[in-house]
């Protein structure tokens, strides 16, 4: 299947390329990909799915397409994954979350914006919703929520249950009811941290490093019509260093040996060579 977010983001990139004259209607199989042309979008999606005509150029995502027209800056993505509708200029924790997520600009790998809207979870120190424009405390919050979501994904809990008050104690009770195993909230969060760190180790095995933990330049420099531009100005090298320090990663973004030992993670000795092309 096609991911709705990545497909939409890639089509938006193609539309901007069309408006800038980088591609023509002739290039796009006669389908005029101009902004607002919903019929053109519906016509192009099957071509992407089947890699037909112009759809072949879009099927590998916005990063490769933007590079093919000589304008990488048109692609709003991180690590090759297109951003969702959740704008980090409106919820600043998402900026760091997108940049450091192992799979790219994924709003669900940290789900931090929920705690800038209405959610709380006192067990992990989030006692009240945080100001969505204030960066104070957001580095620690992003690290914590990423670990929490590793736990949510592993236990197959719906993240929206957070808005209904689901907490770690209740999650532990569910786990005990199913498996008989009893874990404290601290033990649960350590499991979440282990999951996230292990994913990072796998990512670094594939070549991901500090250079990839970044945001599209346009998000860092483009205003949305108000004073929003300044709210991502806090995302810089010092913020990334602070995040790495909290996680126990080195300056290249690789988990240290001490961190791997602390979390009882095997050093990927059983992982084979990276797939061809990485």
> Among residues 114, 76, 111, 123, which one has the least CA distance to residue 222?
76
Per-residue pLDDT tens over the stretch 114-155? 999 999 999 999 999 999 988 899 999 999 999 999 999 999
Whole-structure pTM value: 0.89
Looking at the predicted structure, is the pLDDT value of residue 273 above 70? Answer: no
- Helices 168-179 + 138-155 axis angle, to 10: 20
pLDDT score, position 233: 67
CB atoms < 10 A from the CB of 260, how many? 19
- The gap from C-alpha 89 to its chain's centroid, in whole angstroms, comes to 15
CB atoms < 10 A from the CB of 221, how many? 10
Element (H, E) at 78: strand 77-78
Distance in angstroms (rounded) separating the CA atoms of residues 191 and 210:
24
Residues contacting 47, CB < 8 A, separation 6+: 29, 31, 53, 54, 55, 56, 58
CA dist list (Å): 102 to 98, 99, 200, 204:
9, 9, 6, 9
pLDDT score, position 274: 47
Range 56-82 burial, b when 16+ CB lie within 10 A, else e? ebbbebbbebbeebeebebbbbbbbbb
When pLDDT is cut at 50, 70 and 90, the band that residue 271 belongs to is very low
Per-residue pLDDT tens over the stretch 245-254? 999 999 999 9
Distance in angstroms (rounded) separating the CA atoms of residues 166 and 71:
44
pLDDT score, position 235: 79
Per-residue pLDDT tens over the stretch 20-31? 999 999 999 999
Element (H, E) at 68: helix 62-68
Q: In the numeric block, which tokens belong to residue 81?
A: 């994954």
Tell me what percent of the chain is helix, strand and coil, each rounded to the nearest 5.
50, 5, 45
Q: Is residue 229 a contact partner of residue 221, using CB atoms and an 8 Å limit?
A: yes
Task: State mean pLDDT over 259-272.
Answer: 71
> Among residues 92, 76, 77, which one has the least CA distance to residue 227?
92
Element (H, E) at 186: helix 185-205
Mean pLDDT, all residues of the chain: 90
Which domains does the chain possess? Answer: 4-75 (1.10.569.10), 93-262 (1.10.599.10)
């Amino acid at each position: 299947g096609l991911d709705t977010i990545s497909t939409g983001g890639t089509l938006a990139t193609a539309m901007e390329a069309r408006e800038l004259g980088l591609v023509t209607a002739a290039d796009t199989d006669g389908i005029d990909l101009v902004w607002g042309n919903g019929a053109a979008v519906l016509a192009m999606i099957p071509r992407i799915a089947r890699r037909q005509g112009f759809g072949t150029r879009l099927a590998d995502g916005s990063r490769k397409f933007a590079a093919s027209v000589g304008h990488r800056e048109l692609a709003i993505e991180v690590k090759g994954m297109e951003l969702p509708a959740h704008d980090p200029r409106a919820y600043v924790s998402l900026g760091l979350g997108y940049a450091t997520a192992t799979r790219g600009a994924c709003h669900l790998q940290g789900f931090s914006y929920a705690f800038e809207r209405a959610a709380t979870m006192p067990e992990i120190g989030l006692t009240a919703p945080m100001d969505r424009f204030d960066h104070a405390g957001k580095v620690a919050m992003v690290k914590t929520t990423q670990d929490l979501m590793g736990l949510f994904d592993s236990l197959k809990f719906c993240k929206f249950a957070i808005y209904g008050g689901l907490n770690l104690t209740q999650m532990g009770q569910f786990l005990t009811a199913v498996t008989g195993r009893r874990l404290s909230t601290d033990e649960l969060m350590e499991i979440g941290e282990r999951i996230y760190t292990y994913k990072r180790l796998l990512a670094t095995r594939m070549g991901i490093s500090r250079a990839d933990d970044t945001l599209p330049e346009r998000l860092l420099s483009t205003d949305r019509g108000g004073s929003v531009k300044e709210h991502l100005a806090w995302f810089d090298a010092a913020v990334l260093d602070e995040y790495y320090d909290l996680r126990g990663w080195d300056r290249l973004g690789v988990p240290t040996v001490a961190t791997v030992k602390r979390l009882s993670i095997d050093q990927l000795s059983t992982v084979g060579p990276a797939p061809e092309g990485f």
